[in-house]
Chains A and B, each alone.
Chain A
């Protein structure tokens, strides 16, 4: 089989950091090739080089045996390379057709009827189900991804790079994506599939290239390898993941939501009649595809967003309508879902750790710096944060920043822990750490509300699982009885149950 793409000895540096070190990568005509590795292993960097978004410091790229220089996506597109990035490169205010033809119209004047016809014809030809006149901002994530794939194919892509395409999809959408890929593969399309999920590698790919710390560990045939072998190559150790369980007797209600309603930023209903109880010593997982009210739920439960109806009880204490300070005082601890918004980048680790309780670190009119530093030293040791108390927090890695946030919240021993997307964007090591901390909170007797779009995370950690869909809880079941398929159907809105858990 011929190699359609060959990248030889690619090295890319960002300042002192080496993102790719003498990477060799080849893509055969008509294969699906996984690029596997942890966050920061250099997978995306390598493909951004191939797509012309970065320029390599060293190394050569060959497309169909011809040495090429790819200066920009324009060059890549001309060579038949298309890329679907993790954050979709779509303009939400424009229609599907406008997005597809953007920069590829061929004439100065736009004739909308013709454009929509052409896009519809292309969609039909590639077997992609999408309405060309729909506004992209109104589409689901799965549909947007289809627009991205169509956009690449419309530009005559023969090589399609997909950057973690399944991260945001429901299981059903993943199945549909794989079906589309298999069909396109039969027609001769070559696919690079960036992922860190082993089951997907096994399910869809022909070969795997494993990257670790910017270097290629090995390229293997998928049929001749196993998930555990790949995991070993990827993380450099045999096992990973947290072990849950030792089932515990759930205690008294720690947090109750009674008939809770709330609006989103556009004043549209975001939460509809939520009735849930989080008990002491349990993790209640909220599963759901992003944008179904998770953010609003987390904000409502920490006092940032006032509910329009219903009550919130922390223990026996009614905190409905309270300020964030009232929620904190009542024993609610929230781990911010966006690390960068949860910290003040220019302030030091010690200052960030004490930010919410500065009253306890004042002497007269001034801050007691020595006490703040001592307190920070304590937490740094306790939570294994790799930083000094005086480091500006923006210099920390994502994992360490998340540890600081965990420390800040958990040091108060909250009765209720709200954890929206606590591991998003973290690598496997840091993810394990965060999950262990949540399990430790459960063991300590706190009620933990875990809101996550990662179904594996929900399944691994939760005692009970509730599914949120369009602002409603459409299912609630014990974790032992839950399967990914069943949850997936609920997350996609195919199955709905009345839930009243108060």
Chain B
């Protein structure tokens, strides 16, 4: 029982960063833009968050700075993919390369000489249900995890389906001609979607450095951005189903950590466990992705004939 409770608690923790990024990607893809800059934006957010928190001594300043940097990254993506009409694969991968390189470079400049990797005191975990059985340990989570699951996800759902902005955003991702003909600025909607998406992606990255690890390392994101893209497809561009996908990934991730920690004497290398969450994600994607209904205008830059 303890095992299941601690596994569930860890699942929520691990799922948080990937869920933030995946919700961000949901916004951009629903508006018709595949943002492959997600991996780089998370990395950038992780670095900026850590750096600002380190020099200012305020974790919240770090988080805010990370979100702002993510919004800027999203706007840069918009400049290329929306305004200039550059192929979304090219501009997205370019953004990831740029932001990863930039973060590592800045990290070297600031912390290059240190023998031990720098660290900060991370966000504390809350425990609102104290020592109650099950609920107590399960509720021991970061504030950001609570915000993500209880605010960010329902809000995304509400915005997408119950607001004027969400209606325009979904319409832009399906048929931008219709939105243009209705007198709505297609570019403005896509810029907004990419800005929101970038902010969430960077917040996902900053969660890793400011909460989960309290440090910044080269492998801090390690493909979570790419997994998030897979989860968006798995979740059929619906915030709640995307949440389900992130829990599957988080659960497998937490499970493999525990399997490793058990120190089982198995004739397989420990890397096999590390690969497990990614394999499960691929499997889930293969099973669910066949019926995926992609936003019809995804990948298509909008131009008036």
Binding site for B on A (CB under 8 A): 51, 53-54, 72-78, 83, 85, 87-94, 98-99, 101-105, 107-110, 151, 155
Query: How distant is A91 from chain B, measured CB to nearest CB, in Å?
Result: 5
CB pair A91 B184 closer than 8 Å: no
Query: How distant is A467 from chain B, measured CB to nearest CB, in Å?
Result: 31
Would A92 and B171 be within 8 Å (CB), given that A72-B183, A102-B182 are in contact?
Answer: no
Kindly specify which of B39-47, B69-77, B160-168, B248-256 makes contact with the partner chain: B160-168
CB pair B164 A109 closer than 8 Å: yes
Would A93 and B181 be within 8 Å (CB), given that A105-B167, A109-B164 are in contact?
Answer: no
CB pair A110 B164 closer than 8 Å: yes
Whether B175 is near chain A, meaning CB under 8 Å from some CB there, is: yes
Contact pick for B174, options A72, A91, A105, CB 8 Å: A91
Whether B304 is near chain A, meaning CB under 8 Å from some CB there, is: yes
What are 15 sample pairs from A and B whose C-beta atoms fall under 8 A apart?
Answer: A72-B180, A75-B183, A77-B182, A77-B183, A83-B181, A89-B178, A89-B180, A93-B170, A93-B174, A94-B167, A98-B171, A102-B167, A109-B162, A110-B164, A110-B166
CB pair B167 A92 closer than 8 Å: no
Whether B54 is near chain A, meaning CB under 8 Å from some CB there, is: no
Contact pick for A89, options B164, B167, B177, B305, CB 8 Å: B177
Query: How distant is A93 from chain B, measured CB to nearest CB, in Å?
Result: 5
Would A89 and B163 be within 8 Å (CB), given that A94-B170, A94-B174, A103-B168 are in contact?
Answer: no
CB pair A108 B164 closer than 8 Å: yes
Whether B179 is near chain A, meaning CB under 8 Å from some CB there, is: yes
**A110 to chain B: closest residue by CB:** B162
Q: Whole-angstrom distance between the alpha carbons of A367 and B304 in the complex?
A: 41
Interface residues of B in 147-163 (CB under 8 A from A): 162-163
Q: Whole-angstrom distance between the alpha carbons of A93 and B178 in the complex?
A: 12
CB pair A85 B181 closer than 8 Å: yes
Query: How distant is A408 from chain B, measured CB to nearest CB, in Å?
Result: 29
CB-CB < 8 A to A99: which residues of B? Answer: 178
CB pair A103 B177 closer than 8 Å: no
Q: Whole-angstrom distance between the alpha carbons of A428 and B182 in the complex?
A: 32
Which 6 pairs, one residue from A and one from B, show the smallest C-beta to C-beta distance? A74-B183, A89-B181, A103-B184, A89-B178, A103-B182, A105-B164
Query: How distant is A174 from chain B, measured CB to nearest CB, in Å?
Result: 23
Would A73 and B164 be within 8 Å (CB), given that A89-B175, A91-B174, A93-B170 are in contact?
Answer: no
**B293 to chain A: closest residue by CB:** A93
Q: Whole-angstrom distance between the alpha carbons of A467 and B182 in the complex?
A: 37
Interface size on B, residues (CB 8 A): 24
CB-CB < 8 A to A73: which residues of B? Answer: 180-183
Q: Whole-angstrom distance between the alpha carbons of A399 and B183 in the complex?
A: 34
**B162 to chain A: closest residue by CB:** A110
CB pair B163 A103 closer than 8 Å: no
Q: Whole-angstrom distance between the alpha carbons of A303 and B2 in the complex?
A: 61
Contact pick for A110, options B167, B171, B304, B305, CB 8 Å: B167
Secondary structure type dominating chain A contacts: loop
**14 extra interchain contacts, Cβ-Cβ under 8 A, other than A74-B183, A85-B181, A91-B175?**
A53-B181, A54-B304, A89-B181, A92-B174, A93-B293, A94-B167, A94-B170, A94-B174, A98-B167, A102-B168, A103-B168, A104-B182, A105-B167, A110-B164
CB pair B171 A102 closer than 8 Å: yes
**B158 to chain A: closest residue by CB:** A109
CB pair A90 B162 closer than 8 Å: no
**B164 to chain A: closest residue by CB:** A105
Contact pick for A91, options B163, B171, B293, CB 8 Å: B171
Q: Whole-angstrom distance between the alpha carbons of A74 and B180 in the complex?
A: 8
Q: Whole-angstrom distance between the alpha carbons of A75 and B171 in the complex?
A: 20
CB-CB < 8 A to B182: which residues of A? Answer: 73, 77, 89, 102-104, 151
CB-CB < 8 A to B184: which residues of A? Answer: 74, 102-103
CB pair A108 B163 closer than 8 Å: yes
Contact pick for B163, options A93, A102, A104, A110, CB 8 Å: A110
Would A94 and B180 be within 8 Å (CB), given that A105-B164, A108-B163, A109-B162 are in contact?
Answer: no
Query: How distant is A469 from chain B, measured CB to nearest CB, in Å?
Result: 27
CB-CB < 8 A to B168: which residues of A? Answer: 102-103
Q: Whole-angstrom distance between the alpha carbons of A72 and B296 in the complex?
A: 24
Would A103 and B183 be within 8 Å (CB), given that A98-B167, A108-B165, A109-B164 are in contact?
Answer: yes
Query: How distant is A247 from chain B, measured CB to nearest CB, in Å?
Result: 45
Interface residues of B in 173-199 (CB under 8 A from A): 174-175, 177-185
Q: Whole-angstrom distance between the alpha carbons of A74 and B178 in the complex?
A: 12
CB pair A90 B175 closer than 8 Å: yes
Would A102 and B179 be within 8 Å (CB), given that A74-B184, A94-B171 are in contact?
Answer: yes
Q: Whole-angstrom distance between the alpha carbons of A155 and B185 in the complex?
A: 17
Q: Whole-angstrom distance between the alpha carbons of A90 and B163 in the complex?
A: 19
CB-CB < 8 A to A90: which residues of B? Answer: 175, 178
Q: Whole-angstrom distance between the alpha carbons of A107 and B164 in the complex?
A: 7
Q: Whole-angstrom distance between the alpha carbons of A110 and B183 in the complex?
A: 18
CB pair B164 A91 closer than 8 Å: no
CB-CB < 8 A to B170: which residues of A? Answer: 91, 93-94
CB-CB < 8 A to A53: which residues of B? Answer: 180-181, 304-305
CB-CB < 8 A to B166: which residues of A? Answer: 110
**B189 to chain A: closest residue by CB:** A103
CB pair B174 A103 closer than 8 Å: no
Q: Whole-angstrom distance between the alpha carbons of A331 and B184 in the complex?
A: 52
**A72 to chain B: closest residue by CB:** B183
Query: How distant is B158 from chain A, measured CB to nearest CB, in Å?
Result: 9
Q: Whole-angstrom distance between the alpha carbons of A286 and B82 in the complex?
A: 43
Q: Whole-angstrom distance between the alpha carbons of A72 and B184 in the complex?
A: 9
CB pair A102 B178 closer than 8 Å: yes
Query: How distant is A116 from chain B, measured CB to nearest CB, in Å?
Result: 13
CB-CB < 8 A to B179: which residues of A? Answer: 91, 102-103
Most B CB within 10 A of own CB, among A102, A110, A151, A155: A102
Q: Whole-angstrom distance between the alpha carbons of A319 and B153 in the complex?
A: 55
**A52 to chain B: closest residue by CB:** B183
CB-CB < 8 A to A78: which residues of B? Answer: 183
Query: How distant is B5 from chain A, measured CB to nearest CB, in Å?
Result: 39
CB-CB < 8 A to A110: which residues of B? Answer: 162-164, 166-167
Most A CB within 10 A of own CB, among B163, B166, B175, B305: B175
Q: Whole-angstrom distance between the alpha carbons of A108 and B165 in the complex?
A: 7
CB-CB < 8 A to B167: which residues of A? Answer: 94, 98, 101-102, 105, 110
Q: Whole-angstrom distance between the alpha carbons of A101 and B164 in the complex?
A: 9
CB-CB < 8 A to B183: which residues of A? Answer: 72-78, 103-104, 155
CB-CB < 8 A to B296: which residues of A? Answer: 92-93
